[in-house]
């Protein structure tokens, strides 16, 4: 039996994309991201992983230029079998960045506003320290916009100073 893994992807948007406002962007992203993950796992000869989508949260921008619009954030947990490998993590990062570009992402300034942001947060115990990819993400455990969706997925208490999960809406789970 292949080893089990858990991979987390952070999702965020605070600018309109070709799909519309941030909620429309994240809603349009869901089936495309699910298909990209299924295709990638198939290319690696692995069974389709299980996807668990967190509730959405609305949060203030962290870092970057002042006056940015609030972000809409979520986390996607990907669970399955197969050993995480640095080459696969790089391939997955390329797929995620391709989706960002599809939704109009332009990399102009660090922590600046964006139409779509997809971050690999961790992939099991895999550690990468490259120029383009660092795993686990060095700041994920300090970001309430990541911690609150993760806590909601696990039914853990949400801290009062964290963004609160938004109620479910058509197309997005509660």
| Catalytic site positions | 105, 114, 117, 119
61/71 Cα distance (integer angstroms)? 6
In order of 19, 43, 90, 96, 142, the CA distances from 162 in angstroms are 28, 38, 31, 26, 11
Number of Cβ atoms within 10 Å of the Cβ of 161: 7
Angle between helices 86-102 and 22-43 (to 10 degrees): 150
Each residue of 32-43: b (16+ CB within 10 Å) or e? ebbebbeebbee
| Distance (Å) of CA 26 to CA 90, 146, 157 | 23, 15, 25
């Amino acid at each position: 039996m292949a080893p089990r893994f858990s991979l987390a992807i952070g999702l965020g948007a605070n600018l309109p994309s070709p799909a519309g406002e941030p909620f429309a962007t994240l809603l349009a992203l869901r089936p495309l991201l699910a298909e990209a993950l299924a295709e990638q796992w198939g290319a690696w000869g692995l069974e389709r992983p299980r996807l668990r989508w967190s509730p959405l949260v609305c949060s203030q921008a962290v870092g970057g230029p002042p006056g940015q619009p609030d972000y809409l954030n979520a986390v996607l947990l990907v669970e399955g079998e197969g050993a995480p490998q640095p080459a696969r993590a790089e391939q997955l990062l390329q797929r995620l960045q391709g989706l960002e570009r599809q939704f109009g992402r332009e990399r102009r300034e660090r922590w600046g506003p964006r139409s779509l942001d997809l971050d690999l947060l961790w992939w099991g115990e895999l550690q990468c320290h490259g120029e383009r990819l660092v795993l686990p993400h060095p700041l994920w455990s300090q970001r309430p916009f990541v911690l609150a969706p993760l806590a909601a997925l696990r039914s853990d208490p949400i801290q009062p100073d964290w963004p609160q999960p938004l109620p479910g809406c058509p197309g997005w789970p509660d």
